[in-house]
């Protein structure tokens, strides 16, 4: 069959694909390669004088830039704690998977944080944490806890931002799990109930395997979200205090735009890209396997 693709079809396929392919190549594929190329140069981004420096940007990054390591460690924290989103999301989905009156509107409202912009989420949580009037300190003060300023404490700042990020991300995972729960075969549940399974045992042996596509998706989007974290850091702290809440995505932006170090910024982008590429490869192989087995 494949040997005899009608020419007409080949032509049609070509024209149908062309616009998307051009746009994607020009704006996505080619820029990736270009960033790799730029990362081997010293360049201020303003003038035409690009100087080839080989691997020096990477050497500077790894051996001389303490902030790079701060960013790596913070990204790691993001990855670890962001994975609470699927867990919380699952718990919330289990909590909400009922049919009481008003549940539909309640589910929508629970989903709210995901729909609004991260800029607004960042603003909302900046106020929430504010040491002089934030709701958090009002509440803590009520219990006699002294004022804390999470966003200016190098120890807590990253966790405070991650917590803000967990809000929309949990909502996202919750929806994925709610859909997953919806798709579970009710007959299997009934059969298991007759066999006397309930509670956690039921979850572990009957529900969990059936939720695995939802879990897979939730973990993939959460990992990508954690590595892409930029908006919240930019809005809430601009990487501060003294660079302690920076992440790779923000540091790259900062070096390229604030510090005129475009080549250096590109090298950070490449590092971030390579880290992400591991996940992309994993996701792709899984998708393609499903594709093969599913026909």
Partner 1 sequence: MYPTPIEKYGAGTRTGYNVALWVVLVIWLLPLLAVMLTSIRSLEDISTGNYWGWPTDFLLIENYTEIFRATPLGRYLLNSVMITVPTVIGVLVLSTLAGFALAIYKIRLGFLVFAMFIAGNFIPFQILMIPVRDLTEFLGMYDTMPGLIMFHIAFQSGFAVLFMRNFIKALPHELIEAARVEGANEFQIFWYVVVPLVRPAIAAMAVLVFTFIWNDYFWAIVLVQSDNAQPITAGIQSLRGQWVASWQLISAGSVVAALPPVIMFFLMQKHFIAGLTMGATKG
Partner 2 sequence: MKIRLALATAAIALMTASAAQAGTITFNTDNADPAPRAAMEALIEQFQADNPDITVEMNVFDREAYKTAIRNWLASDSPPDVVTWYAGERMNTFAELGLFSDVTDVWQDNDLFDLMSSSASALAYDGVQYGVPFTYYQWGVYYRTDIFEDNGIEVPETFDDLIAACVTLREADIAPVAIGTRYLWTAAGWFDYLNLRTNGLDYHMGLMAGEIPYTDDGVRETFANWQRLLDANCYIDNHAAYSWQEAVPFVVQGEAAMYLIGNFITPFFPQDDIENYGFFQFPVINPDIGMYEDAPIDTFHIPTNASNPEDARRFLAYLAEAGVQTQINEALLQLPPNSDSVVLDDPFLESGFAMLSAADGIAQFYDRDTDPEMARTGMEGFQEFMVNPDRLDGILERLDRTRQRIFR
Report d(CA 201, CA 164) in Å as an integer.
33
Among 79, 160, 227, 233, binds partner 1 (CB under 8 A): 227
Stretch that binds partner 2, among 41-49, 76-84, 177-185, 203-211 (CB under 8 A): 41-49
Show contacts with partner 2 in window 8-27 (CB under 8 A). Answer: 22, 26
The site for partner 1, by CB under 8 A, has a size of 105
Q: Is 225 in the site for partner 1 (CB under 8 A)?
A: yes
Binding residue for partner 2, selected from 51, 59, 138, 154, defined by CB under 8 A: 154
Q: Which of 97, 179, 210, 238 binds partner 2 (CB under 8 A)?
A: 238
Binding to partner 1 (CB under 8 A): which residues in 140-159? none
What is the per-residue burial (b if ≥16 Cβ within 10 Å, else e) of 18-57? eeeeeeeeeeeeeeeeebeebbbbbbeeeeeebeebeebb
What are 52's strand-pairing partners? 41
Task: Please list, in sequence order, all residues whose beta carbon lies within 8 angstroms of the beta carbon of residue 225, skipping any fewer than 6 positions away.
Answer: 82, 85, 165, 169
Pattern of binders to partner 2 over 59-98, x per CB under 8 A? -x---x-x--------------------------------
DSSP reduced 3-state for 229 = coil
Which of these segments, 43-51, 83-91, 101-109, 269-277, binds partner 2 (CB under 8 A)?
A: 43-51
Helix (H) or strand (E) holding 77: helix 66-82
Sequence-separated (6 or more) residues with CB below 8 Å from residue 90: 173, 174, 177, 211, 215, 218
Which span sits near partner 2 by CB under 8 A: 45-53, 69-77, 98-106, 111-119? 45-53
CA 243 to each of CA 155, 226, 248: distance values in angstroms, whole numbers, following the listed order = 12, 18, 11
* For partner 2, the closer CB: 240 or 276: 240
Nearest of 204, 223, 240 to residue 278 by alpha carbon? 223
Residue 85 interacts, among partner 2, partner 1, none and using kind-specific CB cut-offs from 5 to 8 Å, with none
Task: Name the residues that contact partner 2, by CB under 8 A.
Answer: 22, 26, 44-47, 60, 64, 66, 130-131, 147, 149, 151-152, 154, 238, 240-243, 257-261
């Amino acid at each position: 069959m494949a040997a005899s693709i009608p020419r007409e079809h080949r032509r049609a396929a070509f024209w149908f694909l062309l616009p998307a392919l051009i746009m994607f190549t020009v704006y996505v594929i080619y820029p990736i390669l270009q960033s790799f190329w730029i990362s081997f140069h010293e360049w201020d981004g303003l003038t035409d004088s690009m100087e080839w420096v080989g691997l020096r940007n990477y050497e500077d990054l790894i051996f001389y830039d303490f902030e790079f390591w701060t960013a790596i460690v913070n990204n790691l924290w993001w990855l670890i704690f962001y994975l609470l989103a699927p867990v919380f999301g699952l718990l919330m989905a289990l909590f909400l998977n009922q049919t009481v009156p008003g549940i539909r509107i309640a589910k929508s409202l629970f989903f709210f944080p995901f729909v609004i912009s991260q800029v607004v989420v960042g603003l909302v949580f900046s106020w929430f944490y504010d040491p002089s009037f934030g709701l958090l300190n009002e509440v803590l003060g009520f219990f006699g806890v002294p004022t804390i300023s999470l966003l200016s404490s190098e120890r807590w700042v990253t966790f405070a931002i991650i917590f803000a990020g967990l809000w929309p991300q949990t909502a996202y995972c919750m929806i994925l799990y709610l859909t997953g729960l919806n798709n579970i075969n009710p007959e299997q549940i009934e059969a298991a109930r007759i066999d006397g399974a309930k509670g956690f045992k039921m979850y572990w042996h009957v529900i969990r395997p059936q939720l695995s596509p939802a879990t897979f998706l939730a973990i993939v989007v959460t990992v990508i979200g954690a590595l892409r974290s930029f908006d919240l850091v930019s809005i809430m702290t601009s990487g501060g205090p003294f660079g302690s809440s920076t992440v790779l995505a923000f540091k790259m932006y900062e070096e390229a735009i604030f510090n005129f170090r475009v080549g250096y910024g590109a090298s950070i982008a490449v590092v971030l890209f390579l880290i992400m590429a591991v996940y992309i490869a994993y996701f792709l192989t899984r998708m393609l396997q499903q594709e093969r087995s599913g026909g």
